[in-house]
Structures are given as C-alpha cells and as structure tokens.
Amino acid sequence: MTEFIRKAQKVWEKFKDYVPTYDEVCEILEKEVVNIEDVAKLLNVEDKNSILLMASKAKKLTRENFGKVILLYAPLYISNYCQNGCVYCGFSCRKNYKREKLELDEIENELRAMKEEGIDSVIILTGEDRIHSPVDYIKQACKIAANYMSEVSVEVYPLFEEEYRSLANAGVVGITIYQETYQKEDYEKLHPFGPKKDFEFRLTAVERALSAGFHEACVGPLLGLSHPQKDVLCTLLHAEYLLDRFPKAEISVSFPRVRSAGIDFVPMFSVSDKEFIKFLIVARIYLPRVGIVISTREDARLRDALIDVCITKMSAGSKTTVGGYVPQEEEKDAQFEVEDRRTVAEVVESIIKKGLRPEFTNWVRGVNSL
C-alpha cells in the first residue's frame, strides 16, 4: 500500500529542481497518456503561457469525461468531540471550547433545513471520538440523512471494514478522508497523540470502505502541512492505486489548503493561488476520469474560475460548525473558516452563468440524463 508513496517521493527527488521549457510542456500535453514523471515536471511549471496551455488541455479533458455537470453537496457536522491532538485543527482536543453533538431529532431538523435550501447530497462529519460519537450514532444519523438526501457520504474517523459495512447498509455510498500529509515524518509531528496518530490505519481506510460496499471515495492532503508538490504526487498515485484496485468505484481527489482555525498554528508551507490552480490542472491531465472536488475553503472568485476548467464537484452554502443550517442565536466555533459564504442559490446562479449545469444528485445520473 505504501509503495505508491515511495514511488512519488522518488520521482519528486529526481525532478524537484527541473523546470520544463514551453516546448517540452507542449510535447507532454500532446501525449495520449502522461506518466508520473511528466506530472512531476508539470508541477514545476512557472511560465504563465505554459499554465494557460495546461488549463486548456484540462478543460478539454473535463468536458470529454464529465460533460457540463457540476455536482453540489454540503457538509453536516454532527459532533465536534475529538480525542486527537492535531496541532492545526479547530476541533483538536488541545483547543478549549464548548463541545457538542446533535441529538437525532436535531440532525433531522438540520437535514430538513438543508433540503429546503436545495441540497440533495450530504457529507456527515464528526470529530474522532468513539465515546461521544460511536459508530452506531453515526449510523443512525446516516439513516436519517438517507430519508432526505439522494446521496449520503461520510467524513468521519477511520473505521474497521465491518463498521463501514454497517454504514453501507444504512445507505451510505461514499467516503471522504484526508490523509492530511503523506509524509510520515511530518504526519507524526502534526499528530502528537490520539487515535489519528496511526498513519497506516488512516491511509488504508478508503480500501476498507470500498471493500465493505461503498461506491465513491475522495482522497487528498491538507496543503501546507508538508511539501505541497510531494503531497500532490502522492495523492495522484493514491487515486490511481484505488482506481486499479476498485475499477467500478468513483474516485475523486481534493486539495484543500490550510485555513485559520482559531488556533496558534503556522503551516510549514504556503500555497499560492497560482500553485493551487496548477495542482488541480495537473490532476486533471494525469487522471482524466477522476472527480476533482473544491470546497468553500476557497473564495468565490477562484471557485468560479475553476469550475469551467477542471472541477466536477463543489460544496455550497457550507457550515463548518456543529449543525448551523437551522438558525442559532449564539455563534459557534467552526473547524475552519469558510471563504465562500454565498448561498446555495447564488452558487447555482454562478454555475449557470458559466454555461454549466448544477446537479443536486449523483453526477453520473446527471450526465446520463443529458
């Protein structure tokens, strides 16, 4: 399983200082299939004209493989209890603030409010705490969500295969889980204690979920926690590995950047908009049939620009507090700051203006109905 990480690190070491010429970029983009060494070269491109050429290729591949459909979803945080000491996270147990979780009737109220906004695809999220957020609690929340939404996914702590199977039986179809960083030495420093400290158990979670009956999976790093190019290379090879092992599954990648979480943390690396855009474009060029997800961590201007190039799925109207869709009198602590605060209706309008089609159900159904 970790062989793809070693391969990515080896390729990065070989090409970390290599900057391809414009002519070489053209040669790479003319290939029917690019290899991982080509990807390492493209990740180092700085020339604006080369990046524009890469964006044009990415847009073409996106339209060929996904049409004009953009799937919308929203996250629902049902608990912020956590036993992990992650140094960068707003839900970390290192942070002293009010912990809470939604009761089942409150979960239903939140889902009802989301449905009224037009959302029909939800990701259920918790912190990592098996005492306050046991698997059965997550399962009951997912059962309720399945009564309201056409698609239910989870972004929870890593589970055992039988536990994932119980969620699949409750109506869950997808898993999102970020490795945070694929660089184990940095990972261990960022997660000094708690169950999340187990690098391998987290890394193999997607395989257990897909083996248990899930049909969709989204993987990626949290850019800025370690070397960005290395983590992007690892993510792409991770997604490729999953495609090879689970050819019937829908695999997606996402590259969220570290955002302020109300804690005293400065990331090791800063990822500029230019770098971020390049990473997404290169992901599309290397993996033409893999979904690319962008969240409200990014601002409206950037999201609007990218949905016309390489994005296939995006969040809308997101709340990163526990609950949040039902109006509350007091302000709550969030896992991270949301940059795109537009309503679902406003996001839909921006997608339509681009000549694209916003879809609230599974994108496959959307494409097939065109």
**What is the domain partition of the chain in residue ranges?**
2-18+61-359
pLDDT tens, 86-136?
998 877 777 677 889 999 999 999 999 999 998 999 999 999 999 999 999
pLDDT computed for residue 254 by the predictor: 97
- pLDDT above 90: residue 147: yes
pLDDT computed for residue 363 by the predictor: 42
pLDDT tens, 336-365?
567 888 999 999 999 999 999 999 875 443
- pLDDT above 60: residue 178: yes
pLDDT computed for residue 92 by the predictor: 79
Mean pLDDT computed over 137-157: 97
Percentage with pLDDT > 70 across the chain: 94
pLDDT class of 264 with cuts at 50, 70, 90? confident
Phi, psi (deg, nearest 5) at residue 2: -80, 0
pLDDT tens, 268-288?
899 999 999 999 999 999 999
pTM above 0.75, yes or no: yes
Mean pLDDT computed over 157-178: 98
pLDDT computed for residue 337 by the predictor: 66
Partners of 74 in the beta sheet? 122
Phi, psi (deg, nearest 5) at residue 308: -90, 0
Looking at 3.30.413.10, 3.40.190.10, 3.40.50.300, 3.20.20.70, the CATH number of the domain 2-18+61-359 comes to 3.20.20.70
